[in-house]
Amino acid sequence: MATMTALRNRAITVSALVPAAALLLAGCGGGPGRGSAAEPSGGPSTGAAAKAAADDAAVPEATTFTTVEGAPADAGRDAADGLVVHPPKPLPVHDRPGGRRVATLPTEQLGGPTWVPVVESSGGWLRVLLPSRPNRASGWIPGDGLRTARTPYLVTVDLGDRRLTLHESGKAVGRWRVAIGAAATPTPTGRTFVMAQLAPKDKKLVLPLGAHSDTLDTFGGGPGTVALHGWHDPSVFGRAATHGCVRVPDDALRKLSRVPLGTLVLIND
């Protein structure tokens, strides 16, 4: 099982992530957009390799840029046990244990490693949250051969109070007033997770989540990914003023930078 320090240290690759960060930042704090309607190990035979390639081509990769049709919706609102997993090779994602394949879970997200939270298990199968549309998409992956870790952290965002709370080992270790989505572009609710850490040059850290705007299909050239990020004007905190992202104070951002990838984020009404 990976240590949390190692997991955090693998989260940021600044030079590789600048283009992705710029794209996603455009979807968090720039001008308004308009709504608009991916290597197997070992030595498989040629036939098996061809079938695997055909299966991969028939379904999308589960990333922030894709929509996964047929993915079971996650209706959960509670914290899980902190188990997060990383696929060392692309994995098939199914709609139920042993069921229909709906996606491929790649090894990377936005230039960093894929870590997703486990929210349910059945036999040797794990149900994980996906970073794709639609919001709250999940899927079942085989549990063998995964890298695993446990994060002690949980992030909760209470939209009614406009407050973010960071929990560590079940205890609140920070609570801040934040800015949330405006009425026309609300922050989506439900369980999601910290998908990546982006550190673009001369900009503050951005933590994209596995969630998207419910009202904007695209934003500023990006896919409408919701993120936790800082903001230059502190007067915004406590207001419903964003295009769906959660803007946080600098102190919150510093503490959130220690949160490992895959950590659950619960966004409540």
Helix (H) or strand (E) holding 129: strand 125-129
Burial of residue 209, with CB atoms counted within 10 A of its CB: 0-12 exposed, 13-18 middle, 19 or more buried = buried
Tokens 């998908």 correspond to what residue?
A: 195
Indicate which residue of 86, 94, 167, 229 is catalytic: 229
Token pair belonging to 224: 């409408």
CA nearest 110: which of 10, 189, 28, 219? 10
* Residue 74 exposure: Cα atoms within 13 Å on the Cβ side: 32
Q: Establish whether 94 is a catalytic residue.
A: no
What is the side-by-side strand order in the sheet with 225-230? 206-212, 225-230, 246-248
Token pair belonging to 88: 């060392």
**E-strand stretches of 2-115:** 83-86, 91-94, 101-105, 108-109, 112-113
Q: Establish whether 28 is a catalytic residue.
A: no
With contact defined as beta carbons under 8 Å apart, do 250 and 183 qualify? no
Token pair belonging to 134: 């639609």
With contact defined as beta carbons under 8 Å apart, do 112 and 121 qualify? no
Helices (H) and strands (E) in the chain, counts: 4, 19
**Catalytic sites, residue numbers:** 229, 245
